[in-house]
Amino acid sequence: MACTSTRPSPVSSSASCDGAMASVERERELEREIAKLKRINAALIERVEASNLPRSAPYAAFEHAVLLAEQVRERTQALNQTTHELRASNRLLAEARERAEAAGQYLADAIESITDAFVLFDADQRILRYNSRFAEFWRPAGIRIRQGMQLEDLRRLALSSGLVVSEQLGHRDRRTIYRLHNDRWVQVHQRPTRGGGRVFLYVDITELKRHEHAQREHALAQKTRLLQATMDSLSQGVAVVADSGMLEMCNQRFRELTGLAALAVPHDLAALCHRSELIEAGDAHGVTQACERHLADGRVVEVRGHAMPGGGQVLTFTDVTERIRHAETLREREHWIRTITDELPAMIAYLDRDLRYVFTNRVYEEWYGWPRDLLLGGELEALHSAEHCAQLRPYLTRALAGESVSFEFPEVSGSGERRVLLRAYVPHFDGDGEVIGLFVLIRDITERRRTAEALHQAYQNLEQRVRERTVELTQVNGQLREEIAERAAIEQRLREAKAEAEAANLSKTKFLAAVSHDLLQPLNAARLFIGALSEQDVAPEHHELIEQAGRSLKDVESLLGTLVDISKLDAGVVTPDPDAFAVAELLDGLAREYRQVAASEGLAFHYVPSSAVVRSDIQLLTRVLRNFLSNAIRYTREGRILLGCRRRATGLEIVVGDTGMGIESEELGAIFQEFRRSHAAGRRQDRGLGLGLAIADKISRMLDHPLGVASVAGRGSCFRVLLPYAELAPRRRPAVVVATTIADETVLMGKRIWVVDNDADICEAMRVLLSRWGCEVWVADSEAALAAQVVPGETPADVLIVDYHLDDGDTGLALAERINARRREPLPVMAITANHSHELKQRMRELGYALLHKPVKPLKLRVALSRLVAEHACERR
């Protein structure tokens, strides 16, 4: 076999031989043509020499001979050239033959190196090549493989020799699986060749088949265990009995009921009759109907048989002891209920959904004179007359719809006595709220009706006497009505006046709260213009004018802010946001700020720090303490200001004291009222509206922080606010801390800033101010106007500044989200607004945007903008 498998390819060898034969044949043909030409040349010369032609004829013959010789020479050169090419072709042919033999050897080695059995058939389905493993595959059957054997002969020998036990054909993937006589499996792959032949590859898949068989066995075992576990989880005893009477499977409950804990299956069910009182001889041959079996220990087990489609049956054993006991208990309770209801002096019945009698007491049965067997299960319309049922039908319909109905109904008893009955229908609901029946309660109210009629007659007599007395009292009541009408008219005028005052106050409050944004718009633009103007190089005398304008704007801002704050508090648009914080975070900053203010007024400032933790809204609480500190400095000509804390059992008390003018005792009750100012002259006369303490009082009430004040005229005042204690929750330290101060003037140099605000003055002020800081500024009043200058999704930029309230109901946050949604890297956003709502602050924190409130101070804007740019640069790194 090895010798056969290493032969060169017949195709390549035949091609080489055909080429060599063609070359030899061509060479012989050329030699024959040369010989022919030589004979023609000799014959022509001989003819010329022997002829008696004229003298010019030999010359013509010579010339013709020369031409023939030239042609012979050309033919000879062509023959030599052809011979040279033929030799070169023979040399190339020999080299090709050597390569073909080497390729054939390589092919034979490659086929032999295949780990599986390999065979190649030609177009006539005869063996051309095969490897040793293919020969070894047939050797156990005594079949010797040789070249030229037919494919059909191999198939016939495989079946007749017993080598192949079974065959599985695959039509789609051209694979065939054979089971061999030695319990091994072979998978045969076949592919057609270009020459019409076929290639077969025999792969031994015995291990794969064994693995699949093991997997199937494992899956079957898992399903068996799952089935057994499912059966064991049932509360019933289950036994599977084959058609032959063998117990094939049972669960744990069956073993417990039968007392056969160590029962092995399969087992003959009939042989278990003497071992368990629960099993009878007939169970092995089928249980035709359900039956109850009473055990010696008092238990009752219900046995049911369920036939299986393939023969055999499934026996279920259910312990119904509790159910039987429960039924007996229900019968006893029903007996007691009937005993009780039979003694009640009322007719009691129960009707189901179809108006059939389910229960009646003795009084009900005696009223109609019917036996109990006739009532129970009988329909209402069948037992009563059609007229009687027609009168009851509307009330029954309402009761079946879920309504409790009670009505009086005259009726004649079975003995012919006419009485008045009070009927009550109460619907009975199931767990889903559906009416499943009616409780009927009927009481005889005839005597009560007679008594009521007698009372009515007495009432008629009494009513006549009352009418006579009423006439006497009417005159007196007329006089009283006139007096009451006059008082009612006066009260009505007072209520109308109060309503008008409240409406005017509410209108004022709503107006101030609504126009705060519009009022702050021009003020914000003016502050920005003053800030830009203060940074320009102007004459010294103009600096004083600029500073005076700035102070005036600051006073306007303070007054307007105070009015807006009090209006917002009255309108209820301010919502506190309490949180736990260290009180030092608030007081340390206030102490630094007001120590400088006090020093400028020639006052000493004493601050007592505290490490306490409190719970409050730090922004609103700051406003309260600022009002206290500002008043303390305003009304203190000399002396000192005190800021500190006292720890109380009920909370931390923040105290602001001064050695100022104090407050008269008769004014202490009115200082927290709106537009009320102390009569004592302060340092800043005519700069306040008397709203500071009113705002502090409203905020403290909103935060539930009690306020207190103590003052002695001429010696000073002490204001205090009480805060609840709290504990700080652990907070994560920020990953990056950006420190940016206003001294770092290079942060904003060259930064590209987009500003969107629907106020043209603010846009121009922002453009001038930011340009002074070295920024490249693009301003617009809408998204469309900005898109006309830049491409929002692509043009490079560093910061986007937006106003919250834009035209046509649009907001700056929505505009920023639309722009950042189109950009590969979102822009840092700063929103400037007069809206102080808690919801907006929470939304800004969630989005990570910076927030400033109008009017914006240029210094504060520069610090916030520098910090935003620096933080964004740090995040990008």
Distance between CA 233 and CA 796 in Å, rounded?
70
Distance between CA 16 and CA 20 in Å, rounded?
6
Q: Average model confidence (pLDDT) for the chain?
A: 77
The backbone region for 750, taken as left when phi is positive above 0, alpha when psi lies in -120 to 50, beta otherwise, is: left
The pLDDT tens digits of the residues spanning 355-384 come to: 888 888 887 777 777 776 666 777 887 778
Angle between helices 618-634 and 692-703 (to 10 degrees): 150
Distance between CA 433 and CA 392 in Å, rounded?
24
pLDDT at 603: 92
pLDDT at 646: 92
Say which residues have a Cβ less than 8 Å from residue 698's Cβ, sequence separation at least 6.
Answer: 566, 569, 570
Average pLDDT of the residues in 82-110:
79
pLDDT at 531: 62
pLDDT at 651: 92
13 or 830, higher pLDDT: 830
The pLDDT tens digits of the residues spanning 770-820 come to: 888 889 899 998 888 888 888 888 888 889 999 888 888 888 888 889 988
Average pLDDT of the residues in 174-186:
79
Q: Are 756 and 806 in contact (CB under 8 A)?
A: yes
Report helix, strand or coil for 224.
helix
pLDDT interval class at 514 (50, 70, 90):
low
pLDDT at 686: 42
As a residue count, the chain comes to: 877
Please choose, from the candidates 271, 278, 285, the residue with its C-alpha nearest in 3D space to the C-alpha of residue 255: 278
Q: Which helix (H) or strand (E) holds 564?
A: helix 540-571
pLDDT at 517: 55
55 or 113, higher pLDDT: 113
The pLDDT tens digits of the residues spanning 151-161 come to: 888 888 877 77
Q: Are 330 and 314 in contact (CB under 8 A)?
A: no
Average pLDDT of the residues in 133-153:
81
Q: What is the 3-state secondary structure (H, E, C) of 829-862?
A: EEEEECCCCHHHHHHHHHHCCEEEECCCCHHHHH
- What count of other Cβ atoms lies within 10 Å of the Cβ of residue 756? 23
Distance between CA 285 and CA 717 in Å, rounded?
108
Q: Are 803 and 757 in contact (CB under 8 A)?
A: yes
Distance between CA 528 and CA 832 in Å, rounded?
13
553 or 376, higher pLDDT: 376
pLDDT interval class at 62 (50, 70, 90):
low
Long-range contacts of 808-815 (CB under 8 A, 24+ apart): 810/782, 810/783, 812/756, 813/843, 813/844, 813/847, 813/849, 815/756, 815/783
Cβ burial, residue 755 (10 Å; 0-12/13-18/19+) = buried
Say which residues have a Cβ less than 8 Å from residue 117's Cβ, sequence separation at least 6.
Answer: 130, 131, 133, 134, 136, 137, 200, 201, 202
Please choose, from the candidates 258, 273, 275, 136, the residue with its C-alpha nearest in 3D space to the C-alpha of residue 204: 136
Write the CA distances from 99 to 8, 17, 91, 108, 846, integer angstroms. 10, 14, 12, 14, 79
Average pLDDT of the residues in 741-763:
77
Average pLDDT of the residues in 179-190:
81
Kindly tell me if the per-residue pLDDT of 654 is higher than 90.
yes
The pLDDT tens digits of the residues spanning 621-632 come to: 888 888 889 888
Say which residues have a Cβ less than 8 Å from residue 197's Cβ, sequence separation at least 6.
Answer: 120, 121, 122, 123, 125, 128
pLDDT interval class at 723 (50, 70, 90):
very high
The structure tokens 């195709």 sit at 11
Write the CA distances from 775 to 151, 750, 793, 869, integer angstroms. 90, 5, 20, 12
89 or 595, higher pLDDT: 595
Distance between CA 756 and CA 818 in Å, rounded?
13
pTM, rounded to two decimals: 0.35
Kindly tell me if the per-residue pLDDT of 17 is higher than 60.
no
Q: Are 117 and 202 in contact (CB under 8 A)?
A: yes
Q: Where are the alpha helices (DSSP H) in 180-320?
A: 206-232, 252-258
- What count of other Cβ atoms lies within 10 Å of the Cβ of residue 868? 21
Q: Which two tokens stand for residue 304?
A: 């049911």
Write the CA distances from 809 to 800, 804, 805, integer angstroms. 20, 10, 8
The pLDDT tens digits of the residues spanning 764-777 come to: 888 888 888 889 89
Write the CA distances from 323 to 198, 233, 254, integer angstroms. 77, 20, 19
- The DSSP bridge pattern shows strands 300-307 and 313-319 to be antiparallel
Percentage of residues of the chain with pLDDT beyond 90: 6
pLDDT at 255: 82
Write the DSSP symbol of residue 755: E
Cβ burial, residue 418 (10 Å; 0-12/13-18/19+) = exposed
Task: Spell out where 430-539 has E strands.
Answer: 435-444
Kindly tell me if the per-residue pLDDT of 283 is higher than 80.
no
Kindly tell me if the per-residue pLDDT of 12 is higher than 70.
no
Phi, then psi, of 606 in degrees rounded to 5: -110, 130
pLDDT interval class at 642 (50, 70, 90):
very high
Phi, then psi, of 824 in degrees rounded to 5: -65, -40
Average pLDDT of the residues in 250-276:
78
pLDDT at 582: 92
The pLDDT tens digits of the residues spanning 471-486 come to: 778 877 888 888 888 8
Q: Are 349 and 370 in contact (CB under 8 A)?
A: no
The pLDDT tens digits of the residues spanning 219-239 come to: 888 887 887 788 778 778 888
pLDDT at 18: 55
pLDDT interval class at 840 (50, 70, 90):
confident
pLDDT interval class at 614 (50, 70, 90):
very high
End-to-end CA distance of the chain: 75
The structure tokens 């009541």 sit at 477
The pLDDT tens digits of the residues spanning 521-543 come to: 565 556 566 666 666 666 665 66
652 or 557, higher pLDDT: 652
pLDDT interval class at 16 (50, 70, 90):
very low
The pLDDT tens digits of the residues spanning 669-705 come to: 656 665 555 555 444 444 454 566 777 888 888 888 8
Cβ burial, residue 391 (10 Å; 0-12/13-18/19+) = middle
Q: Which helix (H) or strand (E) holds 641?
A: strand 640-647
Q: Which two tokens stand for residue 502?
A: 């409240």
Write the DSSP symbol of residue 734: P
Average pLDDT of the residues in 648-672:
81
Distance between CA 19 and CA 95 in Å, rounded?
12
Kindly tell me if the per-residue pLDDT of 825 is higher than 80.
yes
User: In the chain, what's the furthest Cα-to-Cα distance?
Assistant: 196
pLDDT at 550: 60
The pLDDT tens digits of the residues spanning 319-359 come to: 888 888 887 887 777 777 777 777 777 888 888 888 888 88
Lowest-confidence region among 15-19, 202-206, 256-260? 15-19
Q: Which helix (H) or strand (E) holds 544?
A: helix 540-571
